[in-house]
Amino acid sequence: MPLPLNREFTVTMHERAIDRCEDLLELRDMAKSLLRIWQLQVSMSEAYGAELLNLKPKDSFGG
């Protein structure tokens, strides 16, 4: 699924910032943060989808 234009712009902006970064520790921290944010978004999407379908999510977000 293609991203909307505004999201493509955001991705490109961040890709360029990553390309300019020369600090390995900063890149590692950024990767770890993005991984956590990604998994949080997945969990929230699963919980929301389960709620819409009146299903009990495996691990509900926030408790």
Instruction: Give tens-digit pLDDT for 3-60.
Output: 999 999 999 999 999 999 999 999 999 999 999 999 999 999 998 998 899 887 665 5
Q: Which amino acid, 28?
A: R
Cβ burial 37-50 (10 Å sphere, 16+ → b, else e): eeeeeebeebbeee
Query: Which DSSP symbol is given to 2?
Result: P
Count of structural domains, the chain:
1
State the residue range of the domain holding 52. 24-63
Instruction: Note whether residue 15 is domain-resident.
Output: no
Asked if residue 39 belongs to a domain, the reply is yes
Distance CA 21, CA 49 (A): 37
Tell whether 56 is covered by a domain. yes
In-domain check, residue 35: yes
Q: What is the pLDDT of residue 51?
A: 87
Please indicate, yes or no, if residue 18 is contained in any of the structural domains. no
Could you tell me if residue 50 is inside a domain?
yes
How far does Cα 56 stand from its chain's mean position?
A: 23
